[in-house]
Structure 1
Amino acid sequence: MKEILNIQKQLLPDLMDTMKKRYTILHHILVSGMVGRRTLAVSLNTTERILRAEVDFLKEQGLIEVEAAGMRISAAGRQLLESIEPIVKDLFGLTELEERIRSHFGLKQVVIVPGDSDASPHTKKELGRAGAAVLRKLVAEDETIAVTGGSTMAEVAYHLAATTSLKGCWFVPARGGLGESLELQANTIASTMAKKTGARYRLLHVPDHLGEEAYQSLMQDDSIAEIIQFIRRARMVVHGIGEAMVMARRRKVDRETTEILRQDGALAEAFGYYFDRQGNILHKMPTVGLRIEDIHQMDAVIGIAGGKSKGEAIVSVLRHGHEDVLITDEAAALEIVHHLSS
């Protein structure tokens, strides 16, 4: 298959360009659910006139359905996208990139989607779709799945299809999170995932970061202690990865601690832990929820993060050495490869 693709690239480069273009249009429609032609043209940085011919072709082929409210992918279009995804990854050069990162860090799987989440909301949606697909594939029967908060994780929850039945499973927040935007809290994401899949969920109604005295006090509460023990029995965790200084501001970390993190070279944050360039833990916030030792003992640790700006932070977490699966985008993947020798 790869040899045929290489021949086609040399002899029929225009055909490859057309295939990429039509795949990208179909893919945008899939991830958007329902989208108007004008909105789609803006997302693809093209004109409605140019897009009209392609939309007409896709409609004639039965790959999309056009209604007054906009366009949606058809069952045939969805099936086509699934079947040609490996070919398209080769066309975009992503298969080789996935294997390079996977082998360097000893991961079980790397999934790279085209684009840059920093520049395109569509790419972040695709990260969510890819994350949902991996979760469905790896989840075991009667599993307890811990999830963190954040905008990318909210996209994962959105793309978990209601047709996916995970009855017998539990979704739980990996840590407390009151104070964040409600829709981005781990509690909200855990409950959304459970409701979409027929699973059950438990919530943790405590702040994300606490003073040491408040932390110790909460840990003495029987009801809080019981839910924390339940969360720590999770065998799978799906989590985001943040830039250290960005997350310190978002979590309202005090100025003194933030300056210490900066001086110590903190690059990444995950689970309330801050990591340096080599993947060493520099600092842990007093967080109610999963501890790093719980994560180290899990069957599946799935990290999801994208955007060129997060490339170095992702490397930092991967060097810590306890990720199993990475789901990222093309821009972040290129940054990861750039930092492999540093």
Structure 2
Amino acid sequence: MKQLSTKELIQIQQKLVPDLLQEMKRRYRILQQINLTQPIGRRSLAQSLTTTERILRGEVEFLKDQGLILTETIGMRLTDAGRQLLHSLDEVIRELEGFRELEERLSKLLDIPRVLIVPGDSQQDPLVKREMGYLAARLIKEQLTEGVLAVTGGTTIAAVAEMMPKAQASRPVEVLPARGGVGENVEIQANTIAALFAGKLGGTYRMLHVPDNLSEEAYHTLLEEPHTQEYLRRIHNTRMLVHGIGQAITMAKRRGASSEILALLEREQAMGEALGYYFDANGRIVYAMNTIGLRMNDLERVQTIIAVAGGADKAAAILSVARGSRQDVLVTDEACTEAILAHV
């Protein structure tokens, strides 16, 4: 007898028991919302799900009786069983809502082996960014058991670290900032994010106390420093890289680029930025910052490269970076996906 695929099974269920699928989706959304905002009170949960406390009360009691959530004074949170069920349901819901097909289309278009898309727009709804962080964090937890994890700064990668579940035991993982970044807000500096990742993974970390954008003289001077040499020795053993993608001009201004550099980026029509490299629409590198850390020629030794970026206005930036550099996984949102598909 032929074994049914997940897609075929869902199609049969939609015809025979459509109410069951709707109920499953509703309870999945409740579990997902708790996971993204825990601990959360029932009133806040009802508001975020645009329902009433009265309607939600029965669902919460059911999930509690099933051992999927805990209700505490400070609010509700998922149990280990709840997290495992949520994880198991992810692929089913993605298939049910058509995201698997959308992911395959974007994967082929960008030539990125694996693409994960979350519903919504991360620039309009902070919870969408947290859901992107949750998917990326789950990948890291599953695939990285040892070795060096390199991470960049920024609000999106900070969300990945925040959504990383805390390891039950220590791991032989060392987390390093992918490159210098002193000068940004402390909360989104790569050093801060590396420390948060290490705490969640049960690993260790090292900081890199150098600015993101260096003069030629400062760059070569720092390269000779023993601390820098030790950092470079370790960063060259990176097993996994997790990074964001930014709009070229926006990122250059944020890093205090000179008027000459800004004029160059405008003239060369730079679209996207990653790891201090600026790409045009065809993926050509039009400018590279003097920065201590991972360089493009180091990436061929990295086992897994995960890019996390969303929002409709990141479409051109993601296209340019994908065309000019290797990416193994892209975690993005629905708004960005639609903008990319409309862009080409």
Same-fold call, TM > 0.5?
Answer: yes
How does 1:80-119 map onto structure 2 within 5 Å?
Answer: 80-119=85-124
Deviation at 1:45, TM superposition (A): 3.8
Helix, strand or coil at the partner of 2:330: strand
Deviations 1:240-265 (A, max 9, x none): 11111221222122233223212322
Tell me, yes or no, if structure 1 residue 196 matches structure 2 residue 196.
no
The answer (yes or no) to whether the contact 1:117–1:123 under 8 Å persists in 2 is yes
The answer (yes or no) to whether the contact 1:105–1:321 under 8 Å persists in 2 is no
Which of 32, 54, 57 is equivalent to 1:27? 32
- Specify the alignment match of 2:3 in structure 1: none
Letter in 2 for 1:93: G
Tell me, yes or no, if structure 1 residue 244 matches structure 2 residue 242.
no
Tell me, yes or no, if structure 1 residue 139 matches structure 2 residue 144.
yes
- Specify the alignment match of 1:187 in structure 2: 191
Deviations 1:24-52 (A, max 9, x none): 12101012221012322333344445444
Deviation at 1:137, TM superposition (A): 2.1
- Specify the alignment match of 2:230 in structure 1: 226
Deviations 1:165-203 (A, max 9, x none): 463221111111111111211111112222322322221
Letter in 2 for 1:71: M
The answer (yes or no) to whether the contact 2:145–2:172 under 8 Å persists in 1 is no
The answer (yes or no) to whether the contact 2:153–2:190 under 8 Å persists in 1 is yes
Structure 1 unpaired stretches of 5+ = none
Deviations 1:148-176 (A, max 9, x none): 11112112222333325463221111111
**Alpha-carbon distance in 2 for matches of 1:140, 1:52:** 40
Deviation at 1:270, TM superposition (A): 0.6
TM-score (norm: length of structure 2): 0.90
Which of 27, 30, 42 is equivalent to 1:37? 42
- Specify the alignment match of 2:60 in structure 1: 55
Letter in 2 for 1:323: Q
Relative to 1, partners in 2 of residues 1:294 and 1:166: Cα closer, same or farther, differing over 3 Å?
Answer: farther
- Runs ≥4 residues deviating over 6 A: none
**Superposition RMSD on alpha carbons, in Å?**
2.2
Deviation at 1:136, TM superposition (A): 1.9
How does 1:252-263 map onto structure 2 within 5 Å?
Answer: 252-263=256-267
**Alpha-carbon distance in 2 for matches of 1:105, 1:206:** 33
Deviation at 1:86, TM superposition (A): 1.4
**Alpha-carbon distance in 2 for matches of 1:17, 1:56:** 18
Helix, strand or coil at the partner of 1:189: helix
**Alpha-carbon distance in 1 for matches of 2:66, 2:230:** 56
The percentage of counterpart residues that share the same residue type is 47
Aligned residues: 339
**Alpha-carbon distance in 2 for matches of 1:258, 1:10:** 57
Helix, strand or coil at the partner of 2:238: coil
Deviations 1:105-148 (A, max 9, x none): 3333222222221122111111111111111222253x112111
Task: State which drifts further: 276-285 or 47-56.
Answer: 47-56
Which of 211, 217, 222 is equivalent to 1:213? 217
Letter in 2 for 1:26: L
Helix, strand or coil at the partner of 1:326: strand
